Amino acid sequence: MDVERTIAISGDAKKAVEFAFNILVAADFEIIRQSDDGFEMKGPGMWSSNQNPLAGISRVVVESGAGKIIFRADLGGIKKFRDKFIWGVGGLTLLTLVVLALFFKDDTHFNIKLPFVLLLPWLVIIPIILKVTKIRTLGTIETLLKNMSAVR
């Protein structure tokens, strides 16, 4: 798991687990397993950086016991989002290369490097977007955990 946190609970641990359960269900998580002391869910997948930051979680396990809650999450949603992003930009670069090569095949001034020059800004933009998305997801997880610990 990418994120593992244990938080102390002074209130009712079952209510805190139920609170997290309701938040994640509202964020379109799919229930894999549910019991009296915890649950496991699968995330909805991340398609855009404008989505709910919790979509960056691909799998989450929440368990309660003796005054504490254990929260474990995989950030596979962000990893899949990264892969889609990279393949999308790479595909557009290749498509641009093919289209320009077809249109300018007889032009002696055509430079084959042009589509790759168009790719250069994305080499900076993609890591920034992914870093911000991961920071937002981790921040939302921390807020969820703080709210869970405040449930009475």
The CATH number of the domain where 14 resides is what?
3.30.530.50
pLDDT computed for residue 119 by the predictor? 86
Say if residue 64 is in the same domain as residue 109: no
Task: Give SS3 for 46.
Answer: coil
| pLDDT band for position 132 (cuts 50, 70, 90) | very high
Q: For the whole model, what pTM was predicted?
A: 0.86
Which residues form the domain of 119?
79-128
Strand ranges inside 10-150, DSSP E: 30-35, 38-42, 59-65, 68-74
Note the maximum CA span of the chain: 75
Give pLDDT tens digits for 52-98. 999 999 999 999 988 899 999 999 999 999 999 999 999 998 898 88
Say if residue 14 is in the same domain as residue 67: yes
Say if residue 105 is in the same domain as residue 55: no
